[in-house]
Structure 1
Amino acid sequence: MTSELKSLNEECGVFGVWGDSQAAELTYFGLHALQHRGQEGAGIVANQQGHLTGELGLGLLTEVFDQPDKLAALTGAAAIGHVRYATAGSSGIENIQPLLFNFTDHQVALAHNGNLTNAVSLRTELEQAGAIFHANSDTEVLMHLIQRHAAPTFKQRLKASLRQIKGGFAYLILTSDALYAALDPNGFRPLALGQLPNGAYVVASETCALDTVSAKFIRDVQPGEMIQIDDNGYQVEKYTTETQLSVCSMEFIYFARPDSTIYGVNVHQARERMGQQLAREHPVDADIVVGVPNSSLSAANGYAAASGIPYEMGLIKNQYSQRTFIQPTQRLREQGVRMKLSAVSAVVAGKKVALIDDSLVRGTTSNYIVRLLKEAGASEVHLLIASPPLRYPCFYGIDIENTRELMAANLTLPQMKTKIGADSLAFLSVAGLIDAIDLQSTAPYSGLCVAYFNGDYPTPLYDYAATFEPPRVLATT
């Protein structure tokens, strides 16, 4: 995905199974389909007749489970798993999930996708009341809240705790007798329920993971819902009625896999429509359309179809290069891109190129790709971004919590064009993005969160309000 080139990352992916004797193995396959959502660490916790055991580690899923016996040791008919990219807390082993808690009379495993906006204040309150934290991520906060509630059942304590936390979260919680899936009141992060041919249930961050294990899609987990899965089937409950659908638009732009479907909208087709709308809003005089591999290819195809300009494979991605994490210097970032991308001189030489990318963050990668194409002989490069300018921080599970490195938050459109070195630069409008995704919701912005583009956050910022940095540039010109 191009997000790996731009160092913009989502926190993680979760996957869970209830009712299959090969639950841990299925979880492994499901996590493999979600590897794009997190590559700093991975883990699986299995339930064998009420006893929870886990295996976790730093690195890719295949690196953590590099020996067959590690997976084979996780026996039982239920399991949850997690692939992590840190947005809150360090990337140390203590923060790798699922977190497994051992109490006197029970065990609980917890996996979390998202970011809590009141975790700091809650943690302070909990520590003052005597709670001891073993990690520094926001995930552990929920478990402490559950333990401190006085309700008689675990489910009641869980529902009460979910009402206390704020922000973006998709949780999988495994106990000795049930698997719980819970989504925040805005549905920022996707979460889907499916069923295997043998009747077992599966929950995953994306529907592509359901497809990987041959599970039939049942439904999306809705905002403010908690689903309990046990040997009697599944039960859907609302833990709050104060909900407003605000799906992260970044999921459709580049986080989710193109073969995933979120709230009834296929990601690939949404990206194609983004490209088509981009062509209508910003036509250019070009000979060929070139997409930046991989998540921009759908939008590039849409742009080509709507504009009538032929699509060509002018950039090639090395599919065998390892992921490059955020690098401390521009030189290292550019070297990471050079290892991943190369231009096809025979295709681009002497051509005016309409270059389609899904987003623009720092601008350093865009600058390098434009140079790459021009060095390969392109006579002109017109950079067209299939999303609006990123100007505002995200506090719900994406690692942009300040505006300092966001190019569009600090430079005008002409300044950005000059710095990148493109012959022209244009972005998809917010209205165009909303129309292209087409969630068909009556919620504000048709059920999408577009705060990263216009600053209209669907929730209070809580702990982040005091440090919020508005962009220096508010207009595209």
Structure 2
Amino acid sequence: MTSRPPVLLPVSPEPPARPDKPEEACGVFGIYAPGQDVATLTYFGLYALQHRGQESAGIATFDQGAVHLHKHMGLVSQVFDEALLKGLVGQFAVGHTRYSTTGSSHLENAQPSVANTRLGQLALAHNGNIVNAGDLRGELLEAGHQLLSTADTELIALAMAEAVDGGRGWIDGAIAAFKRCEGAFSLVIGTPTGLIGARDPHGIRPLVLGVLGPEPDTCDGPAHYVLASETCALDIIGAHYLRDVQPGELVWITEAGLTSVQWDNRAERKLCVFEMIYFSRPDSVVNEETLYSYRLRLGQQLAREAPADVELVMAVPDSGVPAAIGFAQEARLPYAEGLIKNRYVGRTFIQPTQSMREAGIRMKLNPLKDVLHGKSIVIVDDSIVRGTTSRKIVRALRDAGAIAVHMRISSPPVTHPCFFGIDTDNQDQLIAANLSVAEIEAQLGVDSLAYLSWEGMLASTHQDPESFCSACFTGNYPVEIPEPFKRAKLKFEITPAAV
């Protein structure tokens, strides 16, 4: 008698644990390069920006006014292959890699967002978060627009399409849409005649401008321009950094060259300081230096503010490494790798069970027992949000034989949620919003815990401290947050815990 295979009943997967780090909203990329393989160049640009979002990716190319679009859920390397890229022909392109903030993680919210206008289609890629999205959504619905997603990106695209259909050109239509938006937005927009790059009046999220090919001062003929969230996306395709797109600026790139328009004269730079501390890649350049150099200074300042009597310094890889090296240099202590990260672990569709999660975090980080055994150590990380991962790391270090574990954090306590494109928990889930440093120390099980001061963090930038948004540490938001949106994350009024 032949046995029949067992019937497998569907089992609802257990939801993955919330990440213990802030998650970036996304990365944007645009390139104007007639005669070049713009789809493949955009693919590599997005590949360099993969750290900014791992949920979906998309590319739209413009070929003599016709738009070719492909987007899907997954990593850049999973969404595209050579055959797909060959089908995305055109003279310029817009690309996006996404981590969801406004709008859930579904295909309809993947970008670029495409809208029809009387002048042809536009494709818009957005990094940031619109805080008046509720009001704007209501206005667009009342005007008869059909919304296909829950993301605020579609709202910007439709607002621009509405302005263009009302008789404005591409630049005036874009500016009209921007003036209806409050919050953070760095945008790359493709139109049938050219590319637009723009930032909100505070420049909360980054956007850089580069040129592909020869050095800018030796370029003959029309330049091939590139727009990207970070300079690392320019480096990967051999483009040269020109400058940042300024807060409240719009750049218009066509066959005639580049035109700059200051669309909002109230511009006041408030770059997200977490871009400096954590989000942007350490090889990206801000203010004419790599962020590795800044993070090294954070560690040095941290060692001056909160020294530790230990035998060695180690980092939580990879984001804590530059600060840990700086701490070791300033403290004149040896630096060692005490945790090895599996760099091939991305987002998996197979989730570990709760018991597996409780057993530890060995899937991503594994301690080196012979380095740690019998040692007193200080472990340096860039931030603590919920504290769950930090607690597991400390337990793993002690299990590996560390006799004393001290923790130093190269940023202040995160006490307030972000409304501008960073996915942080509600305030009641932020460990530093609810517990003092001494209480966090006890909960993590460390021998001592210290954070970098807010003043030390900003002084280490070597820039004007007023030019950064640090609301996640202070609660001082550069843009007024509508009350319903604010109440959704701010569950109660608190003052930041004393360091």
TM-score normalised to structure 2 length? 0.90
Q: How far apart, in 2, do the equivalents of 1:319 and 1:162 lie?
A: 39
Q: 1:142 matched to which residue of 2?
A: 156
| Counterpart check, 1:91 vs 2:112 | no
What are the ranges of 5 or more consecutive residues in structure 1 without an aligned counterpart? none
Q: Which amino acid aligns with 1:170?
A: S
Change (3 A) 1:332 1:78: farther
Q: 2:195 matched to which residue of 1?
A: 179
Q: How far apart, in 1, do the equivalents of 2:291 and 2:259 lie?
A: 28
What is the SS of the residue equivalent to 1:158?
helix
Percentage of pairs with the same residue: 44
Contact 2:115 2:158 in 1 (8 A): no
Contact 1:46 1:53 in 2 (8 A): yes
Q: Which amino acid aligns with 1:96?
A: A
Q: 1:454 matched to which residue of 2?
A: 474
Change (3 A) 1:219 1:335: farther
Change (3 A) 1:335 1:249: farther
| Counterpart check, 1:465 vs 2:486 | yes
Q: How far apart, in 2, do the equivalents of 1:435 and 1:22 lie?
A: 43
What is the SS of the residue equivalent to 2:427?
coil
Contact 1:292 1:357 in 2 (8 A): yes
Q: 1:158 matched to which residue of 2?
A: 174
- Cα distance, 1:466 vs structure 2: 4.1
- Cα distance, 1:465 vs structure 2: 3.3
Deviations 1:362-397 (A, max 9, x none): 101000111111111001000100000000010000
Contact 1:160 1:239 in 2 (8 A): no
- Cα distance, 1:16 vs structure 2: 0.8
Q: 2:143 matched to which residue of 1?
A: 129
- Cα distance, 1:70 vs structure 2: 0.6
Contact 1:7 1:326 in 2 (8 A): no
Contact 2:30 2:93 in 1 (8 A): yes
| Counterpart check, 1:476 vs 2:490 | no
Change (3 A) 1:154 1:220: same
Q: How far apart, in 1, do the equivalents of 2:201 and 2:473 lie?
A: 21
Q: Which amino acid aligns with 1:465?
A: K
Q: 1:17 matched to which residue of 2?
A: 31
| Counterpart check, 1:54 vs 2:69 | yes
Aligned 1:204-223 pairs, distance under 5 A: 204-223=228-247
Q: 1:70 matched to which residue of 2?
A: 84
| Counterpart check, 1:28 vs 2:43 | yes
Q: Which amino acid aligns with 1:157?
A: G
Deviations 1:230-264 (A, max 9, x none): 11111111110111111111111111100001243
Contact 1:409 1:471 in 2 (8 A): no
Q: Which amino acid aligns with 1:285?
A: D
Q: How far apart, in 2, do the equivalents of 1:333 and 1:55 lie?
A: 35
Deviations 1:267-304 (A, max 9, x none): 11110010000000001101000001001100000000
Contact 1:392 1:470 in 2 (8 A): no
Give me the CA root mean square deviation.
2.0
Contact 1:391 1:471 in 2 (8 A): no
Aligned 1:96-107 pairs, distance under 5 A: 96-103=110-117, 105-107=119-121
What is the SS of the residue equivalent to 1:75?
coil
Q: 1:310 matched to which residue of 2?
A: 334
Q: How far apart, in 1, do the equivalents of 2:449 and 2:355 lie?
A: 24
Corresponding pairs, count: 470
Aligned 1:332-371 pairs, distance under 5 A: 337-371=361-395
Q: Which amino acid aligns with 1:74?
A: L
